[in-house]
Every structure is written in structure tokens, then in C-alpha cells.
């Protein structure tokens, strides 16, 4: 199948490319490298021993995107490109709406023009907002509490309405929980710019000596050890979920939102302990006040993914930490700037 992949040079995109190429799909990546690296794509080529088309471009550039989609004439699209930092979305909301909502609308328009009616979209568990109950299932109310989450909820709505009016169209909205880890080779992984916002990349940078100590945001939550609980999912499992979603989208019409998590909650302290085991050194930390906007617990109901996609995660927390550590220790400063 011909698959057009926006944001393929990023963290989740690059891991999904490996899975797509291994499955024999023909791929075209569309990325503006604002948070992705051409080096990641070069390494994907090496690891998979396959080539792919790459177009450097911005999903906000409606014409360039339409041209790239028309030229490639895809059977399906996986849409990763977007901005993803919750804190930043509070500071520059318009940029988030433009990229995540208008960019997604540009993509659907380009697909319409090229006669492509199949999309897998990167959504987020953040669309649920405060938990009214746990685990989050897909019928939990969608009530995001920050601009980033609202852009994802809006893009979901736009895609859903598009499927309602486009004969034969099918969309899978994958609501990721907390993607972590790296490809087993240690050649590709998460390479955050500046100070990492997320726990595992921060811990990885402490482990490798780039940062001195982790700050744990609160130990007075109503959880097993007082620290926040999340549902961490190995990025390689997440990549496999995209392949399963792609396959599923071929046989159906309409729009399905599907959680991608493990269904297991891990506390910050548990993750730090597992990482220390994986890297063989202690992770120094301080307990600091809660981060505003954080919830105590978030984890997924996973039965819909299993039922519709026939997909289940394979990797546990130790595998997530080991793979992250391999990537971080082999690439202490992330991807090199030059190819
Ligand atoms: P990432 O930043 O590593 O990858 C995004 C890619 O999109 C990058 O290569 C970037 O250069 C590209 N991009 C950004 N803006 C673009 C634009 N205007 N035009 C073209 N390309 C553009 O992020 P990721 O972690 O791989 O996340 C991929 C998707 O999954 C995002 O949409 C994100 O919101 C969503 N998501 C991520 C997480 C997570 O924790 N990583 C959780 C839930 C959802
Ligand atoms: N944490 C720390 N110290 C840090 C970073 C995080 O203690 O330096 C804690 C947080 O308080 C939280 C846990 O680690 O309890 C996880 O925090 P992350 O920032 O890694 O993840 P979040 O669950 O807050 O958010 C992430 C992404 C969102 C996405 C959401 C989906 O940042 O974009 O997962 O569930 F929407």
C-alpha cells in the first residue's frame, strides 16, 4: 500500500516508518523538520534497508501539501505532524490551532483532491481531561483542559465530520497514552529540543549526565506511593498499533477513536527505579511541588484496541527503560545536526 506519512521524521513517526517499511509498504514522508531530523530518516533507511520518498514541507502550506499528496497518490495517510507541548500551547495557542487544526484540514482537503479516503490520526489521551472515572475508555467525555488538548479534540471532530460527508472514507483516531522507549538498535529515539517536558526523556538525560537531578512533581497524590501514575506505552508497540489501524481502516467506513496504552499504571517512583536498574546507576531526584495542570492518574481501557485492531502491547516497563537507555547512551546529545 502507498502510505503518506506527515511528521515521519519525528519520534513516533520514525518508529512507525520502520514498521511500515518492514511490512512492505511504499512510503512518502512529509515533514518540515521543525522537531524532527533528516538524520532519523537516514537511519530508518539504514535499519530497514529500504528507501522512501521524502518531501520537506509544512502542513500549513496548503498548496505544497496538496501537491505532495497528489504527486504521491496515496492509498492511506498517517498524520503525525503537529505541535505537542502542553505548556507551550498555553503561550502560543494560535500556532497550535493553526498547525494541529488548520494543518489537519489542509491534509483532508489534499486527500479529497487526490481521491484518498483513509487516515490514521495521532490523537492523545489528553483529550479526556480530568478523569470522571478510570480507566479512561473511549466513551469517557472529551473535555481537554489546555489548548494542546483542545486542538486534538477539534482535529478529531473535523476528521469525524469529514468521514460523515465523504463516501467510503474511514478514519482511526489513535489516542496515545504516554509513549516512551526507543527502537532496539538504539539508532533512533526521542530527541527533545531544550529541557524535556516529559518524564522519561528527562530521566534519560539525568542518567547520561546531561542534567544533574530529576524534579519529581509532587509526592502527595492519592496513588500507591504519592507520585503521579501514567500508562507508559513502548513506542515500538505504538508503531505496531498504527499498522493494525491501517489494516483495520481498509475494511470499514466511518470514524473510530481507539486508546493506545497498556492498561497498567506506573508511578513516577516506579519508573525512576526501573530506569536506574536499566542504566545501572542511581537517578538523583528532588521532590518539588506539583506541576500545575497535572492529574494524579491516567491509564487506558484497552479492550477496544484489542477487539477492533487485534493489537496488544508486548513490551513491559523494563524493556521501555532498557531501549531508552540504549538510545540515550549511544546518542547522549541526540541526533547529530549534520547528516
Ligand atoms: P515529534 O515532534 O517528535 O514529531 C512530529 C513531527 O512533525 C516532527 O518531525 C516535526 O518536524 C513535524 N512537524 C511539526 N509541525 C509540522 C508542520 N507544520 N509541517 C510538517 N511537519 C511538521 O512528536 P511525536 O512525539 O512523534 O508525536 C507525533 C504526534 O503524536 C503529534 O501529533 C503529537 O501531538 C501526538 N502525540 C504525541 C504524544 C507523545 O507523548 N509523544 C502523545 C500523544 C499524542
Ligand atoms: N513528571 C515529573 N518530573 C518531570 C516530568 C514529569 O515528576 O520532570 C511527572 C508528571 O508530574 C507526571 C508524570 O511524570 O506525573 C508524567 O509526566 P509527562 O510530562 O511525562 O506526561 P503527561 O502524562 O503529563 O503528558 C503526556 C504528554 C501529553 C499527552 C499525555 C497523554 O506530555 O502531550 O502524555 O497522556 F497528552
Q: Which atom of ligand 2 is nearest to the CA of 84?
A: 33
Give residue 128's pLDDT.
97
Residue matched to cell numbers 542511581: 282
pTM over 0.85: yes
For the segment 130-159, the average pLDDT, to the nearest whole number, is: 97
Share of the chain above pLDDT 90, in %: 97
From residue 190, alpha-carbon distances to 198, 199, 237 in Å are 11, 12, 15
SS3 136: strand
- Is residue 2 within 8 A of residue 73, CB to CB? The reply is yes
> How far apart are the C-alpha atoms of 145 and 139, rounded to whole Å?
17
Q: What is the dihedral of CA 143, 144, 147, 152, to 10 degrees?
A: -90
What is the 8-class DSSP label of residue 291?
A: P
Among candidates 232, 186, 314, 244, which has minimal Cα distance to 16?
A: 244
Give residue 214's pLDDT.
98
For the segment 17-37, the average pLDDT, to the nearest whole number, is: 98
pLDDT tens per residue across span 195-224: 999 999 999 999 999 999 999 999 999 999
Give residue 46's pLDDT.
98
* pLDDT over 60 at 30, yes or no: yes
Share of the chain above pLDDT 70, in %: 99
16 lines ligand 1 (CB under 6 A): no
What's the whole-number average pLDDT of the chain? 97
Q: Which atom of ligand 2 is nearest to the CA of 229?
A: 15
Give residue 116's pLDDT.
98
Give residue 79's pLDDT.
99
Cα 104 to ligand 1 centre (Å) = 12
pLDDT tens per residue across span 290-321: 998 889 999 999 999 999 999 999 999 999 99
Residue 324 C-alpha cell reads as 531508552
Give residue 117's pLDDT.
98
> How far apart are the C-alpha atoms of 161 and 207, rounded to whole Å?
45
99 lines ligand 1 (CB under 6 A): yes
Query: What domains can be seen in the chain, in order of their start residue?
Result: 2-181+233-263+299-313 (3.40.50.720)
* pLDDT over 70 at 338, yes or no: no
pLDDT tens per residue across span 65-95: 999 999 999 999 999 999 999 999 999 999 9
* Catalytic residue status for 97: no
Residue 339 confidence class, pLDDT cut points 50, 70, 90: very low
* Closest C-alpha to ligand 2, atom 14: 199
* pLDDT over 50 at 172, yes or no: yes
Residues 6+ apart with CB under 8 A from 49: none
DSSP alpha helix (H) spans, the chain: 11-22, 38-48, 62-72, 86-91, 93-96, 103-114, 147-165, 199-207, 235-250, 268-279, 303-304, 317-330
* pLDDT over 60 at 10, yes or no: yes
* Closest C-alpha to ligand 2, atom 16: 199
Give residue 292's pLDDT.
87
pLDDT tens per residue across span 236-262: 999 999 999 999 999 899 999 999 999
Residue 337 confidence class, pLDDT cut points 50, 70, 90: confident
Give residue 166's pLDDT.
96
Q: Which atom of ligand 2 is nearest to the CA of 227?
A: 15
Residue 267 C-alpha cell reads as 508511578
Among candidates 16, 72, 26, 75, which has minimal Cα distance to 50?
A: 26
Phi/psi at 135 (5° precision)? -70, 160
> Strand (E) positions, 261-313?
266-267, 285-288
Give residue 98's pLDDT.
98
Catalytic residue (one of 11, 96, 128, 148) = 148
> How far apart are the C-alpha atoms of 49 and 199, rounded to whole Å?
32
Among candidates 280, 26, 13, 254, which has minimal Cα distance to 122?
A: 13
Amino acid at each position: 500500500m502507498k502510505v503518506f506519512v506527515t511528521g515521519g521524521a519525528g519520534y513516533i513517526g520514525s518508529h512507525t516508518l520502520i514498521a511500515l517499511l518492514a511490512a512492505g509498504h511504499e512510503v512518502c514522508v512529509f515533514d518540515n523538520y521543525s522537531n524532527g531530523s533528516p538524520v532519523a530518516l537516514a537511519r530508518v533507511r539504514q535499519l530497514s534497508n529500504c528507501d522512501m520518498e521524502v518531501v520537506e514541507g509544512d502542513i500549513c502550506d496548503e498548496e505544497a501539501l496538496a501537491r505532495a499528496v497528489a504527486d504521491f497518490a496515496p492509498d492511506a495517510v498517517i498524520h503525525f505532524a503537529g505541535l505537542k507541548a502542553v505548556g507551550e500551547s498555553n503561550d502560543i495557542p494560535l500556532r497550535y490551532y493553526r498547525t494541529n487544526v488548520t494543518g489537519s484540514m489542509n491534509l483532508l482537503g489534499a486527500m479529497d483532491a487526490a481521491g484518498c479516503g483513509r487516515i490514521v490520526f495521532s490523537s492523545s489521551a489528553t483529550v479526556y481531561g480530568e478523569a470522571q472515572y478510570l480507566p479512561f475508555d473511549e466513551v469517557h467525555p472529551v473535555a481537554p483542559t489546555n489548548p494542546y488538548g483542545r486542538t486534538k479534540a477539534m482535529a478529531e471532530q473535523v476528521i469525524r465530520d469529514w468521514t460523515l460527508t465523504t463516501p467510503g472514507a474511514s478514519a482511526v483516531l489513535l489516542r496515545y497514552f504516554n509513549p516512551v522507549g526507543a527502537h532496539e538498535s538504539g539508532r533512533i529515539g526521542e530527541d527533545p529540543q531544550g529541557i524535556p517536558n516529559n518524564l522519561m526523556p528527562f530521566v534519560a538525560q539525568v542518567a547520561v549526565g546531561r542534567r544533574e537531578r530529576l524534579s519529581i512533581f509532587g509526592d502527595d497524590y492519592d496513588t500507591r506511593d504519592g507520585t503521579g501514575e501514567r500508562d507508559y506505552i513502548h513506542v515500538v508497540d505504538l508503531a505496531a498499533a498504527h499498522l493494525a489501524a491501517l489494516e483495520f481502516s481498509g475494511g470499514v467506513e466511518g470514524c473510530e477513536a481507539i486508546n493506545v496504552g497498556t492498561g497498567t499504571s506506573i508511578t513516577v517512583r516506579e519508573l525512576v527505579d526501573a530506569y536506574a536498574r536499566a542504566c545501572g546507576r542511581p537517578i538523583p531526584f528532588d521532590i518539588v511541588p506539583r506541576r500545575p495542570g497535572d492529574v494524579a492518574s491516567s491509564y487506558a481501557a484497552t479492550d477496544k484496541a484489542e477487539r477492533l485492531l487485534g493489537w496488544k502491547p508486548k513490551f513491559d516497563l523494563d524493556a521501555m527503560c532498557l531501549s531508552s537507555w540504549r538510545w540515550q547512551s549511544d546518542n547522549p546529545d541526540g541526533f547529530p545536526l549534520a547528516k
